[in-house]
């Protein structure tokens, strides 16, 4: 009984760490993919060659992978985590959209969310629900 409780606690903690690492990973991912647009908008990177922008984004993406890979390893059911491969992917996509929405609203304030965007996010949340159904 004690061992079963310990395993459940271990899976729960792995699940929590997975979600936190996925959030952090997606912050870095969003900054890597779209941060250079803000730098360009601010005039910081206008004279950078495209290769320079790519290398800059890769530097940020490296931090994304430093969070993403451990999140997937500890969250995967085959490694003692609580999530199947499909569940990991759908949860990651949901987190990705939520993080993107927050960062886009902070960095690009003219990019408002409309009803259809919110409806699309609700469908993603519905996908998370469906993927966890037995």
Provide CB contacts within 8 A for 36, sequence distance 6+. 45, 53, 56, 57
d(CA 73, CA 71): 6
Q: Which residues pair with 76 in a beta bridge?
A: 83
pLDDT per residue as tens, the chain (134 positions)? 555 666 778 888 999 999 999 999 999 999 999 988 888 888 888 899 999 999 999 999 999 999 999 999 999 999 999 999 989 998 998 899 889 888 888 888 777 778 898 898 888 888 878 888 87
Helix (H, G, I), strand (E, B) or coil at 111: coil
Phi, psi dihedrals of residue 55, rounded to the nearest 5°: -65, -40
Give the predicted TM-score (pTM) of the model. 0.82
């Amino acid at each position: 009984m004690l061992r079963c409780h310990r395993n459940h606690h271990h899976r729960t903690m792995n699940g929590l760490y997975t979600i936190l690492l996925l959030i952090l990973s997606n912050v870095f991912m969003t900054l890597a993919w779209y941060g250079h647009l803000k730098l360009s908008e601010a005039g910081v990177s206008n004279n950078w060659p495209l290769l320079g922008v790519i290398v800059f984004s890769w530097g940020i993406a490296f931090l994304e992978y430093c969070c993403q890979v451990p999140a997937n390893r500890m969250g995967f059911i085959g490694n003692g985590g609580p999530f199947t491969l499909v569940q990991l992917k759908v949860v990651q996509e949901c987190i990705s959209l939520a993080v993107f929405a927050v960062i886009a609203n902070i960095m690009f304030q003219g990019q408002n969310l409309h009803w259809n965007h919110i409806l699309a996010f609700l469908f993603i949340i519905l996908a998370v629900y469906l993927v966890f159904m037995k």
